[in-house]
Amino acid sequence: MTASRTEAPTTESARLYEAARHYFPGGVSSPVRAFNGVGGTPRFIVRGEGAFVVDADGNRLVDYVLAYGPHILGHAPPCVIAAITRTVANGTSFGAPSTQETELAGLVQEFIPSMQVMRFVTSGTEAVMSAIRLARAATSRNLIVKFEGNYHGHSDAVLARAGSGVATLGLPDSPGVPAGAAGDTIVVPYNDIEAVREVFAEHGGRIAAVIVEPVAGNMGVVPPAPGFLEALRWQTTAYDAILIFDEVMTGFRVDPGGAQTLFGISPDLTTLGKVIGGGLPIGAYGGRADLMRQIAPDGPVYQAGTLAGNPVVMAAGIAVLRELAKPGVWRSAADATSALAEGLVDAAQSSGVSIQVPHVGTMLTPFFSEVPVTDYATARACDTKRYATFFHSMLQRGVSPPPSAFETWFLSTAHGEDEVALTLEAAAEAFSDIG
């Protein structure tokens, strides 16, 4: 945008953003933060407190971004801050095993028993990259099946988009991704059981793994169709391929035990991130012991990390999972999510605005669509201009939704009746601006 070069910035955030654009592509460290999906300039956040964030101009906003998922207990929960503070006082990193790693792994396994053996890494991207390497090594095959609109981090193999046709060998989704890297990825429409069946009938003996967001969250929330995850489990088993559930987002969010617990399907490998680091950098992958024991140094599949298993990050994750293990804690965030989803539908209806608000556990997305959203094509067909208008109306009224029609709204245990009521009041006015 050139406007900021000719007009003096009117807010502190706009002034800070100008300075940032000098150093960073788009002025940001990750693209969605630049507000390209909705226009305008991003707010600089200086503080978080429970369900709220405070921006550089002193505006206090009910936050549904929650750092794109990690803060399931809200911002700066005392138990997490205390754990971080206590741990960091002893030093930040040692490159040696720590008791915190073992404790966090034990908690993760209590919630997600399929993670018999696991490894901590420093991002979800890295977790997925490593799980794919392991799947390829264990099967001596190269092909990966992924679904349109699912996001698995930014490594080459999963930055593939669909070509034309129902299920196609992937094309690079970014310059710099070699055709070979994307060409070993088959892209299939989400929720299309028949397409999955066809892909296995044609390529089954060459497929190393199927990777899926078991509840899609990176095109907005799109739940799996009945039988879809079962079909993935069935096909991968029949062809000796590995089933990877990418639960970096859904882990602890759609259910305390993730989508695999909610739907009762056990993948071979699971990737985690976000919630398990309490807002500090983390990823994890794990699953069947016979597979995970192939990772170095037990086995030949190489994967390493200087800062992996960092004790401060581990301590934050332990504090989060201990809190989530208490009766009723997770449920309160899920209840607030259903109340918000239902309230948004009612408020939109009152203004004659067509929306769909799919919600699972502590995640929801308002899609401006007259028809249910079931895959990437129906998600793309939503009215993104309406979302942008709605987004800015909400921001003006003290609510911070994600700055893209295709991002999930996250709730936390700090989002109670008052925060939901405040949000629905703002939404009623924002919908009437649109309607």
**Nearer residue to ligand PLP within complex by CB, 152 or 359:** 152
Between β-strands 399-400 and 60-63, what pairing exists: parallel, antiparallel or unpaired?
A: parallel
Nearest to ligand PLP of 214, 401 (CB atom): 214
Give least dist CB 397 to ligand PLP, A: 28
Q: How far is the CB of 132 from ligand PLP (least distance, A)?
A: 12
Distance of CA 39 to the CA centre of its chain: 22
Strands 185-188, 143-147: pairing kind: parallel
Q: How far is the CB of 248 from ligand PLP (least distance, A)?
A: 4
Question: Of the listed 55, 63, 64, 151, which one is catalytic?
Answer: 151
Residue 190: CB minimum distance to ligand PLP, A = 13
Of the listed 274, 376, 383, 387, which one is catalytic? 274
Q: Taking a C-beta distance cutoff of 8 angstroms, is the pair 399, 59 a contact? A: no
List residues binding ligand PLP (CB under 6 A).
Answer: 123-125, 128, 151-153, 213, 217-218, 246, 248-249, 273, 283
Shortest separation between residue 36's beta carbon and ligand PLP, angstroms: 18
151 is catalytic: yes
How far apart CA 50 and CA 56 sit, in angstroms, is: 17
Residue nearer to ligand PLP on the CB measure, 122 or 423: 122
Residue nearest to ligand PLP (CB): 124
CB atoms within 10 A of CB 352: 10
DSSP-assigned letters across all residues of 5-36: HHSPP-SHHHHHHHHHHTTSGGGSSSGGGG-T
Q: Which two tokens stand for residue 326?
A: 């208490």
User: What DSSP designation does 241 have?
Assistant: P
- Residue number with CB closer to ligand PLP (208 or 249): 249
Query: Nearer Cβ to ligand PLP, position 376 or 431?
Result: 376
* Dihedral over Cα of 286, 290, 296, 301: its sign: negative
Active-site position among 63, 184, 246, 255: 246
Neighbour count for residue 104 (Cβ, 10 Å): 28
Indicate if 326 belongs to the active site. Answer: no
The DSSP symbol for 73 reads T
Measure the CA–CA gap between 111 and 318, rounded to whole angstroms. Answer: 12
* Catalytic residue positions, numbered: 151, 246, 274
